[in-house]
Amino acid sequence: MTLPGFAPAASVYETQAEFLQRAFSKTQPAPAIIWLSGERKTNVSQMLGHDYPAMRLRYWCQAERSAWILEEIGKELPITVGVIIDQDYIQSLRVLTYRENRGGEVASPAFSDQFNGASLAASGALDTEIDGISGATLSVHALTRLANVALFLHGESGCTDGA
């Protein structure tokens, strides 16, 4: 008898609908698309250390606020993260779905609240130091990379123009 392979259960902390309701409490804007091509693709690849698996990303923009749902591999599986950016600063970064069997502490607001108020420094890195979590180093790095990418894409999206 062969036993099925072990697959860790995904922990869903917030659905896309709940995330967007939190980001835009009154009226949710229609989704927009940003293409990852050319210099934009190169910049995102440099931030992640690899190509992003999609060629285009859906995001939501209202005035100078944008909401992004991005994924990055922690150790072996993707972590789905929602990032709300308001006027070039992270207002909220939350793990929406965590699939790894270790490192789930990054989903705790005690960790993710460190990103609140962060923006991009001139170097292209976060201007805020993010404290790590022992045993969750790869997940911490994944969330930090996604924070950088979301801030960069916000600047590229036109949301900064009050679109």
Q: What are the DSSP calls for 78-133, one per residue? A: EEEEEEEEETTEEEEEEEEEE--SS-GGGGSHHHHGGGTT--B-TTSSBSS-----
153 falls within a domain: no
* pLDDT value of residue 163: 47
138 falls within a domain: no
The number of distinct structural domains making up the chain is 1
- For residue 133, which phi and psi values (nearest 5 degrees)? -130, 125
Q: Is the pLDDT of residue 90 over 70?
A: yes
97 falls within a domain: yes
Query: What does the alpha-carbon distance between residue 83 and residue 11 come to, in Å, rounded to a whole number?
Result: 18
95 falls within a domain: yes
Least confident range of 3-7, 50-54, 120-124, 142-146 = 3-7
Token output for 89: 């600063």
Q: In this predicted model, what pLDDT tens digit does every residue of 21-55 receive, in sequence order?
A: 999 988 999 999 999 999 999 999 999 999 999 99
Domain carrying residue 60: 11-128
144 falls within a domain: no
